[in-house]
Structure 1
Amino acid sequence: MSGAPAGLATVEAEVLDAELLEGPGAETAVRTGRDRHLSPETVTAIAASVADSTRRAYAADRRAFTGWCEREDRTPLPASAETMAEWVRHLTVTPRPRTDRPAGPSTIERALSAVTSWHLEQGHAKPNMRGARAVLNAYKDRLAERKDEAARARQATAALPAQIRAMLAGTDRATLAGRRNAALVLLGFATAARVSELVSLDLADVTEAEHGYDVTLYRKKVRRHTVNAILYGTDPATCPVRALRTHLAALTGAGRDNGPLFVRVDRWDRLAPPLTRRGRTIGDPAGRMTAEAAAEVIQRLADAANLSGDWSGHSLRRGFATAARAAGHDPLEIARTGGWADGSRVLARYMDDIDRVKNSSLVGIGL
């Protein structure tokens, strides 16, 4: 276990605890050193099951916790209940360099998860969080009483059809970049895709059909593929089928008939060549866009359209859920389309803006 990377999540502990290779009567087995050994390749495979962004965030949280423990002469592993409570209090009062404000509740929740999972990975019991939770709850109350915006969990602004029309109104679809961006926005909305799922699409994942296109996405959070039917829209300007067809034709004209669906385009409106650093190729050699680049496209288009709000790569996904619910679609079908887990609290929160009015107890009571 000592060879496991610091960012490895609880999945490793769960795999080990499950004793997957043991059969009946295993409790009488005699262990050898080899029985408890994980090869570097297996450690890497287990770590790969955790999203890169989560792994990076957890690693940063653990470094920060360890550094604070060193300064305070406390033991990070295993941490006492008192240490956890003091650390949370420290987070609630110490400004962060980037924002000059203390961490928000959601950031502190993530940090607690990072430290808790770290204990499990290293063979320790979860630390006692009763005091830490009390400190965090009091912090949430103070923020709410002060009407501090940090009291509310941040959510991406929903990109609804009206906003999407505004975003695309200024897009030059005579250019390769403009055609790509229109297809990226409309396909992202039509499939309720995370930007990481969207940029992972290849041309082979798109199949023309009588209704338009079928697009196969791998939903990593639920570890399954969904085949999304992309239908013609009533407005040619926001029709995902037309936008996708135009983008595919542009790629064919640029000599691309395989590889990534969404690729980098340089300032001269050409398919960007492979990126290099000190003579070595970096990034995807086929020019695949990164999730960060796709999110920046959405943010730039929203800014150019003078749309207010907190725009991100998740705006399309939230917008789909909101718009589909407003149109009367069943939550289960919405979840299946977007690859949400059954009973997803995140999806429920996205649809709440519609349901809190539509299903309000005030409806029909005669006021």
Structure 2
Amino acid sequence: MTDVTAATAIDSEFTEPDGGPALLNLAAAERQALLEQWAARHGVDAARRLAEAEDLADAVAKEIIPGTTLDTYAKSWRVWSRFCAATGLPELEGSRGALVAFVTWMLREGPQNGTGYAPTSASTHLAATVVGLRERGVKVSGDDQAEARAALEGLAVKLLQSGERRGRGQAVGADLDGLRAVVRACPNTLTGDRDKALVLTGFHYASRSQDPAGLLAGDVTLHPRGLVVAVLTGKTKHSVRNAKIGYAEDPEICPVRAWTAYRERLVAEHGLRWADPSTPAFVGIDRWGHVTGGMGPDSVTRAIKRISARAGVPLAWTGHSLRIGLASVARREGRDGIAIADQGGWARHSRSMLGYMQRDDGWDDNAAAGLA
């Protein structure tokens, strides 16, 4: 058997059973050419090992991508599939015309209710779809993607000019009055104690909805001066920041006391196994008071919305409100920007963090203030 013939045999072992893209995430023809090159250079056995190494590299790449990012990729690919089905275009083509048609369709009728996506959502789906196409071996040029993005931006301006505004806008930030209202509205139950701890600790380390969902009990440790919360951070590079949360001067909204009371009650009512450091930090609780396991990002978001609604907060909070609140309230209280960035896990000159701060600075440090 020649090396090239052997490479063909190797390829048949690593190709998906349904004839789709090979596990190397290359088009079949590209994969075949690559295997033939390896076999010609290094022999059949080395080509086989190189193919296995590529499979391992793909598996590692998938493992380190955050789950929320994978969810976005999957959702965006479903949007792309609906677009292709509606227009009769092939899924595995990423031409300039197809991408421009895609963004136009998304703004016009993309969601299943037919109302059209907000430009920000359409932008996310475009970027994730391009990733999906390339993973499936489709060549998408940077110029074609740029033209689709330019078309999206131009069409978004047209929407604004016509008076149409889509999307929820930026989430409202939590504040100290809101925290007090939340605490006072929490019932004297395990769910109420969990809600207090979720909101008060989350505010003090500027949590995203996925942050408390990923915490284990052992990630939150008591310190003589308060709590240390080990938060997994980073969208593309995973690392851990140890956010320090001190005792609050106001006991009513003290995150340390709230956390301690919640965990003690959880163990008292549901058993010593919940004292294990490997258990979820924040648990789901059904309407009958049964613990259902750890909370996921979506359940954290729903809980924060429900908690703020129960408290009668004037503008409903979202899963991002605690994060925005820490930046804006700390800035209002005169905290240093670097200290805020370190506590919340932002880059020290993060545009998003500076934007949250500008909400407050824009009122006090305002050229138009006091002119009339």
- Do the aligned partners of residues 132 and 180 (structure 1) sit closer, same or farther apart at CA in structure 2, a change above 3 Å counting? same
Counterpart CA distance in 1 for 2:288 and 2:101 is: 55
Structure 2 counterpart of 1:60:
75
From 172, 180, 192, the equivalent of 1:178 is 192
Structure 2 counterpart of 1:328:
334
Question: Larger helix proportion, structure 1 or 2?
Answer: 2
| Structure 2: gaps of 5 or more residues | 1-13, 17-24, 27-39
Give the drift of 1:108: 0.9
Conserved in 1, the CA contact under 8 Å of 2:228 and 2:244? yes
Paired residue secondary structure (1:32): helix
Per-residue deviation, residues 100-157 of structure 1 (Å, max 9, x unmatched): 411110111011101221243344243513442332122211222234331x673222
Aligned 1:39-50 pairs, distance under 5 A: 42-50=57-65
From 275, 278, 285, the equivalent of 1:257 is 275
Paired residue secondary structure (1:225): strand
Aligned 1:254-333 pairs, distance under 5 A: 254=269, 255=271, 256-258=274-276, 259-270=279-290, 272=291, 287-333=293-339
Give the drift of 1:316: 0.9
Per-residue deviation, residues 186-242 of structure 1 (Å, max 9, x unmatched): 001111122222132222222222212222222143522111221121222111121
Q: Does residue 258 of structure 2 align to residue 238 of structure 1?
A: no
- Do the aligned partners of residues 314 and 238 (structure 1) sit closer, same or farther apart at CA in structure 2, a change above 3 Å counting? same
Counterpart CA distance in 2 for 1:149 and 1:291 is: 27
Structure 2 counterpart of 1:192:
206
Give the drift of 1:170: 1.3
Identity of aligned residues (%): 27
| TM-score normalized with structure 1 length | 0.78
- Do the aligned partners of residues 147 and 2 (structure 1) sit closer, same or farther apart at CA in structure 2, a change above 3 Å counting? farther
Structure 2 counterpart of 1:135:
151
Paired residue secondary structure (1:302): helix
Counterpart CA distance in 1 for 2:140 and 2:52 is: 21
- Do the aligned partners of residues 266 and 137 (structure 1) sit closer, same or farther apart at CA in structure 2, a change above 3 Å counting? closer
Counterpart CA distance in 2 for 1:101 and 1:65 is: 16
Counterpart CA distance in 1 for 2:367 and 2:117 is: 36
Counterpart CA distance in 1 for 2:48 and 2:194 is: 54
Give the drift of 1:29: 6.7
Structure 2 counterpart of 1:102:
116
Q: How big is the alpha-carbon RMSD for the aligned residues of Structure 1 and Structure 2? A: 3.0
Conserved in 1, the CA contact under 8 Å of 2:83 and 2:110? no
Conserved in 1, the CA contact under 8 Å of 2:337 and 2:348? no
Aligned 1:327-346 pairs, distance under 5 A: 327-346=333-352
Per-residue deviation, residues 77-96 of structure 1 (Å, max 9, x unmatched): 34221221122112222262
Aligned residues: 328
Paired residue secondary structure (1:264): strand
Give the drift of 1:243: 0.9
Counterpart CA distance in 1 for 2:57 and 2:150 is: 39
- Do the aligned partners of residues 56 and 215 (structure 1) sit closer, same or farther apart at CA in structure 2, a change above 3 Å counting? closer
Conserved in 2, the CA contact under 8 Å of 1:120 and 1:126? no
Counterpart CA distance in 2 for 1:352 and 1:97 is: 36
Paired residue secondary structure (2:158): helix
Counterpart CA distance in 2 for 1:71 and 1:300 is: 37
From 84, 90, 97, the equivalent of 1:69 is 84
Letter in 1 for 2:199: V
Conserved in 2, the CA contact under 8 Å of 1:262 and 1:288? yes
Give the drift of 1:323: 0.8
- Do the aligned partners of residues 362 and 204 (structure 1) sit closer, same or farther apart at CA in structure 2, a change above 3 Å counting? same
Structure 1 residues 57-66 or 37-46, which shifts more? Answer: 37-46
Counterpart CA distance in 1 for 2:41 and 2:352 is: 44
Counterpart CA distance in 1 for 2:316 and 2:155 is: 24
Q: Does residue 222 of structure 2 align to residue 204 of structure 1?
A: no
Structure 2 counterpart of 1:351:
357
Conserved in 2, the CA contact under 8 Å of 1:156 and 1:314? yes
Counterpart CA distance in 2 for 1:125 and 1:102 is: 25
Counterpart CA distance in 2 for 1:65 and 1:296 is: 27
Conserved in 2, the CA contact under 8 Å of 1:155 and 1:310? no
Structure 2 counterpart of 1:92:
107
| TM-score normalized with structure 2 length | 0.77
- Do the aligned partners of residues 335 and 187 (structure 1) sit closer, same or farther apart at CA in structure 2, a change above 3 Å counting? same
Paired residue secondary structure (2:283): coil
From 151, 161, 165, the equivalent of 2:176 is 161
Conserved in 2, the CA contact under 8 Å of 1:106 and 1:153? no
Counterpart CA distance in 2 for 1:324 and 1:75 is: 51
